[in-house]
A and B are shown apart, each in its own frame.
Chain A
Amino acid sequence: MSPTLTAQLPETSAPRMPRVHYLNVDYGVKSWLLTTDHKRIAIMYLVVATLFFALGGTFAGLMRLQLLTPHSHLVQAETYNKLFTMHGLIMIFFFLIPSIPAVLGNFLIPMMIGARDLAFPRLNLASWYIYVLGGLFTITAAATGGVDTGWTFYTPYSSVYSNTNVVLTVVGIFITGFSSILTGLNFIITIHKLRAPGMTWGRLPLFVWAHYATSLIFILGTPVLAITLVLVGLERLFHVGVFDPALGGDPLLFQHLFWFYSHPAVYIMILPGMGVISELVTCFSRKRIYGYPFIAGSSLAIAVLGFLVWGHHMFVSGQSVYAGMAFSLLSMLVAIPSGVKVFNWTATLYKGSISYHAPMLYCFGFIGLFTIGGLTGLFLATLGIDVHVHDTYFVIAHFHYIMVGGAIMAYMGGLHFWWPKMTGRLYPEGWAKLAALIIFIGFNLTFFPQFILGYLGMPRRYAFYPPEFQVLNVLSSAGASILGIGYLIPLVYLIWSMRYGKPAGPNPWNAKGLEWQTTSPPPTDNFTEPPVVEEAYAYAND
């Protein structure tokens, strides 16, 4: 054998791990905790977010166990109230909001635009520390008695009446908000200033467009939440009358301020997922994404319109009838850009060359579940129907179709798509497909019955319920156990793959983004030579 042949053979038959990459460039805890590499910071976010997901999921599991019977003695009402509060807080502020942006966005945005890192690498590390610090406050609040206000902190219950750890929790959420703000700032500046030659706005990956829109909400909305939470704290600690009418305050003012952030926060959670889906659907149908300007534009439309619909959470609150009508109309409008995205993804499949890899199965799951979640959102935007289903399980089902069926499905799809890039290794695809199927079935069994429960009139946040609702609750709890198994399987095989998975090679999916033009895992500086972009989504050139 000639020396040249032996050197080439492994290259072409089985990919090998690169000799030096961002994971093995340095070892030891310090090399992680003091890193400014966006890829390492993304992994640190991944670890912490996964822990929070497990914690939030455990709380959900206990709730579903309680709701197996109408008058369960598993936990007392007070404990149940703390369970749903902690489930909501952890899942929203410590998992869903940071998950796709801070894990996948952090890892991919610099790579997708051909940059070496984010614009402010140290600030990026600071965001992670702020996130962890906020999390520690909230966990401490949970461990030292818990909090029972619901994740919505409605006043005057939260500011005066609740005798649980409200202030500690609020401080935790307040701190974590700054992590969002700084990440958003970092993303916006990076996208503006660090694009590779040829990476014009019209060639920007849709994943990046989605994160740009998300970052706008981060920096415009999060400060309002911070201010609101400070006001709750002031009223609670120093009896400054802001929200409690007994102190001269206005209880509805809190709801206006809270939802001014928290409705856009819904789009913080779903827009990055839509960005993931845009990348998956184009790669696995081997076709240029259909309607690029409409998908990019609809992300911005959602970000802007999302700030004008908060009052649809307050149709029965006693706000004026005409305010209700304005918010209903605006809420209808915000549904349109979401619909535009779904239609464009579907059109992308047309005349493609579609393969059913695991990420694509999650992508199909997303399209189906997000469609149901979006359509049921129209029911809630309709005044006459919302009056009946407001604060019932119909709402719970709707937003879980968006948050779990949409955002988490996309997160799982994205994780499976970019896992080979992040770790350099392939996971067992059969298991991944099985997990996607189990999650899909478990999810629907958990949440579909809740639509029916809601229209029947079962209110949310009930530790006990009338016996006629039991059958549907049992179905939902059964689904939750399947869903739990579905989430455990990837945890096992993904960790397994980090050591035993086959080396993936630079581009196992034959995808066209810049992140696939470098080794897997990438070197610390991402690219050995600066990339030049000539075309976006060049799948037609195969």
Chain B
Amino acid sequence: MERWLPLFPERASTISGQVDRLFGFEIVVAVFFAALIFALVLVFAVKFHRGRSRPVADDMRLELTWTLIPLGVTLVMFAWGADIFFQGTHPPRDAMEITVVAKQWMWKFQQPTGQREIDTLHVPLGRPVKLLMTSEDVIHSLFVPAFRVKKDVLPGRYTTLWFQATRLGTYHLFCSQYCGAQHSSMIGWVYVLEPSAYEAWLSGRRATSASPVDSGRALFQRLGCITCHVQAAPQRCPRLEGLYGKTVKLTTGQTVIADEGYIRESIIEPQAKIVAGYQPVMPTYTGQLKEEDVLDLIAYIKSLSPPLEEGNQ
């Protein structure tokens, strides 16, 4: 394709076609209304140029027409856009999970099998991929135009994003939330590979560390988590088996879904949410763990829960 003057971005994910169709619909609507206004203004300006001014009475029917028709059209836009957004914010349960730690000014990725890379991301074609993302410093935003996905990456909490690549190739990856001096250099590439080529890439690349689950298990022992959460559970503290995805009842009577954000908070700030029936005895780990360590621990804790069936809440 001629690349000197591109007018439309490449389309390389399952959702990109849907976004483009909605975009096309809104272009049609916008062109229609703009053309209507331009034509009316132009025709009136020429036809009534220095003519005789004649009074025109206000007409409620006309006011209602140009209030209600645009209202109806915008409601269609809202509903259609909300539907795409909802899909985009709910990754399939079988999505493979890649962790992302952003910092000024680089992207650090880790594959589920432990391979790490910086500013490049290798993903297999045709498989849903969920990114579990956090930042070490300021807010960043991960943006892959060809996939039509974007999500801010925040310090102190997790955000997620998912996509399923549909076309082999190399695509831009941008930071789209201004993050300081080298913001415009916080860019990289996404490589979409055939599944076999992806497996070959994984095995050809010596894992710089063990898989997140194995690293997390080692940390779990080294940090002493095992003393209470395995040997003294469930009397002294809640069991972690089967925790991920479960609804947890708190001392306040509220309930919370045990997702990555909850587990993270329970490690860093254990006093924030106490499980009903337990005492606030766990020490805080604020400032003692790197973001990667927390992600490893979470990966291990998640591995203690049976993989959820499709559609099983």
Which residues on A are within 8 Å of B, measured CB to CB?
77-78, 81, 148-150, 152, 154, 156-157, 160-162, 244-246, 251-252, 285-288, 290-294, 315-318, 321, 324-325, 328-329, 332-333, 335-336, 339-340, 342-344, 346-347, 349-356, 364, 367-368, 371-372, 375-376, 378-379, 381-388, 390-392, 452, 455-457, 459-466, 468, 471-472, 539-540, 542
* A391–B141 CB distance below 8 A: yes
* A384–B48 CB distance below 8 A: no
* B74–A287 CB distance below 8 A: no
* A161–B156 CB distance below 8 A: no
* A340–B150 CB distance below 8 A: no
Nearest opposing residue in chain B for A162, CB measure: B180
* B151–A340 CB distance below 8 A: no
- Binary contact track B22-36/A, C-beta < 8 Å → 1, others 0: 110010011001100
Q: Closest CB of chain B to A161's CB: distance in Å?
A: 5
Assuming the contacts A150-B178, A349-B48, asked whether A368 and B22 have C-beta atoms less than 8 A apart, the reply is: no
User: Which positions 119-138 of chain B face chain A at CB distance < 8 Å?
Assistant: 137-138
Assuming the contacts A291-B58, A325-B82, A456-B8, asked whether A352 and B44 have C-beta atoms less than 8 A apart, the reply is: yes
Assuming the contacts A148-B180, A318-B157, A457-B174, asked whether A354 and B85 have C-beta atoms less than 8 A apart, the reply is: no
Is B88 on the interface with A (CB-CB < 8 A)? Answer: yes
* B19–A385 CB distance below 8 A: yes
* A355–B33 CB distance below 8 A: no
* Distance of A353 Cα from B48 Cα, bound (Å): 5
* B53–A384 CB distance below 8 A: no
* A457–B143 CB distance below 8 A: yes
Considering the complex of A and B, which 5 residue pairs feature the smallest CB-CB distances, nearest first? A457-B145, A245-B156, A384-B84, A382-B81, A383-B85
* Distance of A387 Cα from B159 Cα, bound (Å): 14
Is B52 on the interface with A (CB-CB < 8 A)? Answer: yes
- Given contacts A339-B33, A340-B67, A387-B149, 10 further A-B pairs with CB under 8 A are A157-B138, A316-B152, A328-B81, A352-B53, A382-B22, A386-B81, A461-B184, A464-B184, A465-B184, A540-B53
Assuming the contacts A290-B58, A318-B152, A384-B82, asked whether A459 and B175 have C-beta atoms less than 8 A apart, the reply is: yes
Q: Closest CB of chain A to B37's CB: distance in Å?
A: 5
Is B223 on the interface with A (CB-CB < 8 A)? Answer: no
* B139–A251 CB distance below 8 A: yes
Which residues on B are within 8 Å of A, measured CB to CB?
3-9, 18-19, 22-23, 26, 29-30, 33-34, 37-38, 40-41, 44-45, 48-56, 58, 62-63, 66-67, 70-71, 74-75, 77-78, 80-86, 88-89, 104, 137-139, 141, 143, 145-146, 148-152, 154-157, 159, 172, 174-185, 187
27 A/B residue pairs, CB under 8 Å, sorted by A: A245-B155, A245-B156, A245-B157, A246-B155, A251-B155, A315-B85, A316-B141, A316-B150, A318-B151, A318-B159, A325-B82, A332-B71, A336-B70, A340-B66, A343-B37, A350-B44, A351-B53, A354-B44, A355-B49, A356-B49, A375-B29, A384-B81, A388-B148, A456-B9, A457-B174, A459-B174, A540-B55
Most buried by A among B104, B156, B187: B156
Pick the contact of A378: B9, B30, B152, B156 (CB < 8 A).
Answer: B30
Chain B residues near A349: list those with CB within 8 A: 40-41, 44-45, 48
Q: Closest CB of chain B to A103's CB: distance in Å?
A: 27
* Distance of A169 Cα from B174 Cα, bound (Å): 29
* B48–A350 CB distance below 8 A: yes
* B159–A462 CB distance below 8 A: no
* B81–A390 CB distance below 8 A: no
Chain A residues near B182: list those with CB within 8 A: 77
* B152–A351 CB distance below 8 A: no
* B18–A384 CB distance below 8 A: yes
Chain A residues near B156: list those with CB within 8 A: 245-246, 251
Chain A residues near B86: list those with CB within 8 A: 321
* B48–A351 CB distance below 8 A: yes
* Distance of A347 Cα from B137 Cα, bound (Å): 54
* B88–A384 CB distance below 8 A: yes
* B77–A154 CB distance below 8 A: no
Chain A residues near B34: list those with CB within 8 A: 371-372, 375
* Distance of A364 Cα from B176 Cα, bound (Å): 35
Most buried by B among A161, A339, A367: A339
Q: Closest CB of chain B to A488's CB: distance in Å?
A: 28
* A325–B85 CB distance below 8 A: yes
* B30–A391 CB distance below 8 A: no
Q: Closest CB of chain A to B39's CB: distance in Å?
A: 10
* Distance of A350 Cα from B9 Cα, bound (Å): 42
Chain A residues near B141: list those with CB within 8 A: 316, 391
* Distance of A452 Cα from B5 Cα, bound (Å): 10
* B7–A452 CB distance below 8 A: yes
* B54–A351 CB distance below 8 A: yes
Assuming the contacts A245-B155, A391-B177, asked whether A346 and B41 have C-beta atoms less than 8 A apart, the reply is: yes
* A382–B181 CB distance below 8 A: no
